[in-house]
C-alpha cells in the first residue's frame, strides 16, 4: 500500500491540525510507503490550492504504485474536486474536523459539502462530526470515526518546583493560597471564555483564580469595530467563523475590567511551550467551558487531552466533539454547557478535596496515555486505508465493481 497525503496544515506552522497531520503522515510511514504534497508555508497558499490537481496528476504519473489518496481537511477536498472530470480512479478519503462540515452558509453547504459526498470516504475526528455528516446525507457506510491523538511525551516533562515563583511574577499576586483554573486556546466564541468569566467566576470562592493561555490580537478592538458596526451581522459572523477570529477576546477584556474580578482573572496571551506545560502541571483544574454557537462546533477537544497527560483534572462542557476526548469519570468530568449553577457546584465540590482530585488527575493521565496515543490514531487510519486499498485491488483484479464497500461497521464502532 502506498499513500499520497495532501495537506496545507503541517509544521513548522503551529496548531492542532498541523500536529495531527504530522503524526498521521509519519505514523503511516512506519508501515507503508508515503508520498506527500504539503504546503511549504512560504509560497502563496492560494497558488498551492489552485494547482493541487495538476500536482497530483504529476505525482501519480511519476509514482504509479500509489494506491490511495488522503486529504487532510475539507479545504483540500474542495480544491481537489474542482475542475472537470474525475481526477483519478484511486480511492480518495478526506478527514473532516468540524467547521469544515457545519459552516453556516447555504452556498457552502450546497457547493462545497456536496463535493465531499463524491469522495470515497470521510474520516471524522469525533462522533459529533460524523453525525453532522450523516445529517447532511452522507452514506453511513462511508463515514468513519478515528479520534485524534495527543502528544503523550508531555507526560515525561518534569513539574518544576520553582515555577510558581515565575507564575507569581506573571500574575502579580501570591498564589500559595490560591486554587488555579486554566483554559488554553484561541478566544473564539465557542470556547466560552467570556461566558465563564462573566457567569461562573464571580460566584466561585474568592481563593479561585482563572488563567487563559492563548494568542491575542493587538488589533482586536479595530477588528471588532469593523465587524460589529460596519458589516451586516450575517456577513460578519461568517467572516469570524471562516477565519477563526478570536472575537471573544473583546468580551474577555471587558470582563477583566470589572472591579470584582481584579486579580482573579488573567489573560496571559500566548506562552512558550515550556511555560504552558508548567502552567498546566501547576493548575488545580483545566476548564473547557464551551458554549453552543450556531454554525460552529468543537471538532474534538485536543487541549483537554493535553491537560490530562500533564496530570491536570479536566472539567468540560458535554457538547460536540469534546465528548469524544473527555470520558466522564475516566479522564475528566463532563457538565452541561451554559448551566452556571451546575458548573459552580461541581467546581466547588471537586476543589473541596484536593488530594482526591490530584489522585484522579494521575489516573486520568494514565487513561489518556493508554487510549489517546498518536499510535492509536494511526492504527485507526491504517485500518480504514487497508480496507479501501483491498477493495480497490479486488476491483482491479476482477474488473468488476465487487460486492460494495468492505467496511460495514457503523460509525459508532470506529471510535
Backbone angles phi, psi at 209, to 5 degrees: -115, 155
pLDDT of residue 160: 95
The reply to whether the predicted model has a pTM over 0.85 is no
Directed axis angle between helix 354-371 and helix 302-309, to 10°? Answer: 120
- pLDDT, tens digit (0-9, with 9 covering 90-100), for 197-230: 999 999 999 999 999 998 887 776 777 667 776 6
pLDDT of residue 308: 96
Query: Given a cut of 70, is residue 120 above it in pLDDT?
Result: yes
- pLDDT, tens digit (0-9, with 9 covering 90-100), for 267-321: 999 999 999 999 999 999 999 999 998 878 888 888 999 999 999 999 999 999 8
The confidence band for 18, taking pLDDT boundaries of 50, 70 and 90, is confident
pLDDT of residue 403: 27
Counting beta carbons within 10 angstroms of the beta carbon of residue 54, is it exposed (0 to 12), middle (13 to 18) or buried (19 or more)? Answer: exposed
92-96, 125-129, 316-320, 327-331: range with lowest mean pLDDT:
125-129
d(CA 71, CA 79): 10
Query: Given a cut of 70, is residue 66 above it in pLDDT?
Result: yes
Q: Which residue has the higher pLDDT, 85 or 182?
A: 182
Count of beta carbons in the 10 Å neighbourhood of residue 309:
26
Pairing of strands 265-269, 285-288: unpaired
Give the strand order in the sheet containing 208-213: 265-269, 208-213, 179-184, 285-288, 314-317, 333-335
Q: What's the maximum distance between 2 C-alpha atoms anywhere in the chain?
A: 75
Mean pLDDT, residues 378-384: 95
Q: Calculate what percentage of the chain has a pLDDT beyond 70.
A: 89
The confidence band for 411, taking pLDDT boundaries of 50, 70 and 90, is very low
pLDDT of residue 175: 93
d(CA 346, CA 298): 22
Round the average pLDDT of the chain to a whole number and report it: 87
pLDDT of residue 413: 35
d(CA 402, CA 46): 39
- Residue 177 CB contacts under 8 Å (≥ 6 apart), including other chains: 207
136-145, 233-242, 284-293: range with lowest mean pLDDT:
233-242
Query: Given a cut of 70, is residue 402 above it in pLDDT?
Result: no
- Residue in 78, 102, 103 with CA at minimum distance from that of residue 92: 78
- Residue in 90, 92, 91, 112 with CA at minimum distance from that of residue 101: 112
pLDDT of residue 229: 67
Amino acid at each position: 500500500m502506498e499513500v499520497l497525503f495532501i495537506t496545507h496544515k503541517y509544521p513548522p506552522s503551529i496548531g492542532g491540525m498541523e500536529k495531527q497531520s504530522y503524526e498521521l503522515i509519519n505514523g503511516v510511514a512506519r508501515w507503508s510507503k508515503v508520498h506527500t504534497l504539503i504546503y511549504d508555508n512560504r509560497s502563496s497558499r492560494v497558488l498551492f490550492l489552485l494547482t493541487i490537481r495538476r500536482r497530483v496528476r504529476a505525482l501519480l504519473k511519476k509514482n504509479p504504485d500509489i494506491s490511495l489518496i488522503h486529504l487532510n481537511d475539507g479545504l483540500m477536498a474542495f480544491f481537489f474536486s474542482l475542475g472537470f472530470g474525475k481526477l483519478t480512479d484511486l480511492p480518495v478519503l478526506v478527514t473532516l474536523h468540524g467547521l469544515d462540515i457545519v459552516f453556516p452558509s447555504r452556498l457552502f453547504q450546497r457547493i462545497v459539502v456536496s463535493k465531499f459526498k463524491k469522495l470515497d470516504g470521510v474520516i471524522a475526528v469525533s462522533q459529533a462530526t460524523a453525525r453532522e455528516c450523516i445529517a447532511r446525507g452522507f452514506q453511513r457506510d462511508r463515514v468513519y470515526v478515528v479520534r485524534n491523538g495527543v502528544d503523550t511525551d508531555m507526560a515525561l516533562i518534569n513539574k518544576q518546583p520553582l515555577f510558581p515563583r515565575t507564575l507569581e511574577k506573571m500574575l502579580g499576586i501570591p498564589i500559595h493560597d490560591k486554587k488555579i483554573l486554566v483554559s488554553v486556546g484561541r478566544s473564539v466564541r465557542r470556547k466560552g471564555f467570556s461566558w465563564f468569566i462573566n457567569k461562573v467566576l464571580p460566584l466561585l470562592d474568592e481563593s479561585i483564580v482563572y488563567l487563559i493561555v492563548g494568542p491575542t490580537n493587538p488589533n482586536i478592538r479595530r477588528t471588532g469595530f469593523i465587524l460589529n458596526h460596519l458589516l451586516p451581522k450575517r456577513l460578519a459572523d461568517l467572516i469570524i467563523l471562516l477565519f477563526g477570529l478570536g472575537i471573544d477576546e473583546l468580551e474577555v477584556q471587558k470582563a477583566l475590567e470589572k472591579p470584582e474580578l481584579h486579580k482573579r482573572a488573567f489573560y496571559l496571551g500566548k506562552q512558550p511551550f515550556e511555560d504552558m506545560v508548567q502552567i498546566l502541571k501547576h493548575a488545580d483544574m483545566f476548564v473547557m467551558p464551551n458554549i453552543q454557537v450556531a454554525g460552529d462546533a468543537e471538532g474534538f477537544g485536543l487541549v483537554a487531552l493535553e491537560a490530562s497527560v500533564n496530570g491536570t483534572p479536566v472539567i468540560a462542557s458535554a457538547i460536540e466533539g469534546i465528548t469524544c476526548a473527555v470520558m466522564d469519570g475516566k479522564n475528566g468530568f463532563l457538565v452541561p454547557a451554559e448551566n452556571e449553577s451546575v458548573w459552580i457546584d461541581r467546581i466547588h465540590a471537586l476543589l473541596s478535596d484536593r488530594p482526591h482530585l490530584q489522585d484522579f488527575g494521575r489516573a486520568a493521565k494514565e487513561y489518556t496515555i493508554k487510549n489517546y496515543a498518536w499510535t492509536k490514531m494511526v492504527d485507526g487510519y491504517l485500518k480504514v486505508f487497508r480496507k479501501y486499498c483491498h477493495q480497490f485491488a479486488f476491483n482491479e483484479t476482477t474488473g468488476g465493481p465487487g460486492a460494495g464497500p468492505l467496511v460495514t461497521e457503523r460509525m459508532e464502532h470506529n471510535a
